[in-house]
Amino acid sequence: MDTGTHVVMGLGLGGLAMLDPAVSSDSITAHAVILGTLIGSQAPDFDTILKLRNNAVYIRNHRGITHSVPALFIWPAVVSLIIYGLSPGANGLHLWLWTSLAVFLHVFVDIFNAYGTQALYPFSKKWVALGVISIFDPFIFILHLLGLALWYGGFDPGRTFAVTYIILAGYYLLRIWNRHRIAQVVRHHIPETIEVIASPTIKWGQYHLAIKTKHQFFVGNMKQGRFRVLDTFDRVEVPDTDVIHAAKKDKNLSAFLSFSPVYRWEVEKNSHGHEVRFIDLRYRSKGHYPFVAIVQLDEELNIITSYTGWVYSEDRLRKKLDYTPGVLKNE
């Protein structure tokens, strides 16, 4: 989910914690727990700071180990110990329990969007991305804002957010069913479908879809219950050529391949040597696929420059790949 949603969910869990007598009966513990749920709901995304280094490091690591099984124990321990050090009169056990719930809920809700997480690491490096909820879901965000407004207005926070999360559980079940129904519709139109990768939008019932079959990739969408194919690509395996082998040594392309489950590739000969381009098919915007990885090699297959990330125009991409011959530039 987006940062704003994680913030309101952290505050909402702080309200729910008032159902706990050990929290509601002690103002020091109550304040510590609210701080714990607020920080705990953000902690797994502290890896966003990696974007300051470069896109490759960010893409390879964001929602990786910080959202893993060990992180479910490490984040609560670190956050609750720091807060307890600032508020030694708080109930340490209940502070840790509610902070743990905040961290767990963060990781749990993140697996329901198209980006996903490596929530099963170290048992599996597979990205878990269910494609059920958009990164930002207006209903979830507004529901929490309503709960916070009622709390501010004098309603009991524990009961208010107990009702809020019961409604939210029903909403998730409804979205899961809707995602299942969409997969059925796709398989009805494309019987040879192996996998449907769905990216929900903020609008109810609208999805971007990438579909795998044995021999083709289909890119389509679902709007108002109607499925439409927008693009079709032959599914061609990436060849084990010297050019491809050299390009895969690049950190940007390596990061892209560790993250993207469905892509097409291109190799083009140009005046500098060879350009290798991988294009993620999950993200289509106005006929363009903005999430890419590009490696420029010279004639001797040395890496000159490379890039991975979001680019919405070829001109912008060329600016990012601009370089001085002989000087390596990786972004």
pLDDT in tens, the chain (331 residues): 889 999 999 999 999 999 999 999 999 999 999 999 999 999 988 877 766 666 666 666 667 788 899 999 999 999 999 999 999 999 999 999 999 999 999 999 999 988 788 888 889 888 888 999 998 999 999 999 999 999 999 999 999 999 999 999 999 999 999 999 999 999 999 999 999 999 998 888 899 999 999 999 999 999 988 999 999 999 999 998 999 999 999 988 988 888 888 999 999 998 889 999 999 999 888 888 988 999 999 999 999 988 888 887 777 776 766 654 444 444 4
Residue 152: the pLDDT is 95
Number of independent structural domains in the chain: 3
Residue 108: the pLDDT is 94
Q: What contacts 274, CB < 8 A, 6 or more positions away?
A: 243, 247, 267, 268, 296, 297, 299, 301
> Are 8 and 136 contained in the same domain?
yes
> Are 270 and 126 contained in the same domain?
no
Residue 141: inside a domain: yes
* pTM of the model as a whole: 0.85
Domain boundary among the residues 206, 234, 262 is at 234
Domain boundary among the residues 129, 148, 174 is at 174
> Are 320 and 250 contained in the same domain?
yes
Residue 187: inside a domain: no
> Are 64 and 82 contained in the same domain?
yes
> pLDDT, tens digit, for every residue of 75-113?
999 999 999 999 999 999 999 999 999 999 999 999 998
Residue 326: the pLDDT is 41
Domain boundary among the residues 143, 174, 205 is at 174
> Are 13 and 161 contained in the same domain?
yes
Containing structural domain, residue 215: 192-234
Residue 209: the pLDDT is 95
Q: Are 283 and 114 in contact (CB under 8 A)?
A: no
Residue 321: the pLDDT is 67
> Are 7 and 155 contained in the same domain?
yes
Residue 58: the pLDDT is 67
Residue 331: the pLDDT is 43
Residue 285: the pLDDT is 83
Residue 280: inside a domain: yes
> Are 122 and 30 contained in the same domain?
yes
Residue 186: inside a domain: no
> Are 24 and 159 contained in the same domain?
yes
Residue 14: inside a domain: yes
Residue 179: inside a domain: no
> Are 111 and 56 contained in the same domain?
yes
Residue 128: the pLDDT is 87
Residue 181: inside a domain: no
> Are 154 and 225 contained in the same domain?
no
> Are 74 and 219 contained in the same domain?
no
Tally of residues, the chain: 331
Residue 18: inside a domain: yes
> Are 96 and 65 contained in the same domain?
yes
